Amino acid sequence: MNVPKERVKQNMCMEEHKTQEEPVREELRKKDTGEEEAKKETREEKKEEESQVPAFSRKDIKYMKEAIRQAKKAKDLGEVPIGCVIVYEDRIIGRGYNRRNTDRSTLAHAELAAIRKACKKMGDWRLEGCTMYVTLEPCQMCSGALVQSRISKVVIGTMNPKAGCAGSVLNLLQMKAFNHQVDVEYGLCKEMCAEILRDFFRDLRRKNKEIRLQERKQKEIQSQELG
């Protein structure tokens, strides 16, 4: 039986089309498999990360939220929003927030203010049995002061990769060479603590940009007047 030439051509075209489609399908299959593996890895990483975060109590959250309220006081002054509280036997004995520019002092950090108040309340320079809740990882100065104060524990909201000395740049709080090591827990109300900092620096960049634009316009006006 003779098959019409048109049908032969059509069948050949279909076969050719299938041959061309095969690599595309294979590529799509690989892509889907790759995406699935990536999602699986992300889920596993997230699970591992969550398992490493200590289980915080309602009291812990309450105290960190008070530290965040202190940080907002700093923000209202135009300061980098960092706040902390020191707790002894379920009672806040010291609060502090960043006032470095306001007080024109490099010593006016939140942690040092809280330490001074807590020592006064305790009637002693030693803060044994006390816990500090701080929104941002302490710097080298504050970490040193915490070791010197013999404080028992520090709970940190968010890390400070550029200047933090409780695990980021250094870990002064747990350095074996010192005669006192501090217990440290990380990640309490992490997103809330990070968000207040992000918002502050975003607003600061916007404000500085507006100031630069205003200065540029002023210079242009002066230049036109002189011209």
* Separation of CA 50 from chain center: 15
Active site residue 111: yes
The answer to whether 143 and 133 are in contact (CB under 8 A) is no
Write out the two tokens for 161.
Answer: 């990769």
Give the active site residue among 111, 137, 210, 220.
111
Angle of CA points 59, 64, 204, to nearest 5°? 165
Q: Where are the alpha helices (DSSP H) in the chain?
A: 5-52, 58-76, 100-103, 110-122, 140-148, 190-226
**What's the rounded Cα separation, in Å, for the pair 132 and 60?**
10
> Which residues on adjacent β-strands are paired with residue 154?
132, 184
**What's the rounded Cα separation, in Å, for the pair 116 and 137?**
19
The answer to whether 148 and 175 are in contact (CB under 8 A) is no
Q: Of the candidates 139, 141, 136, 140, which has an alpha carbon nearest to the alpha carbon of residue 157?
A: 136
Which residues carry out catalysis?
111
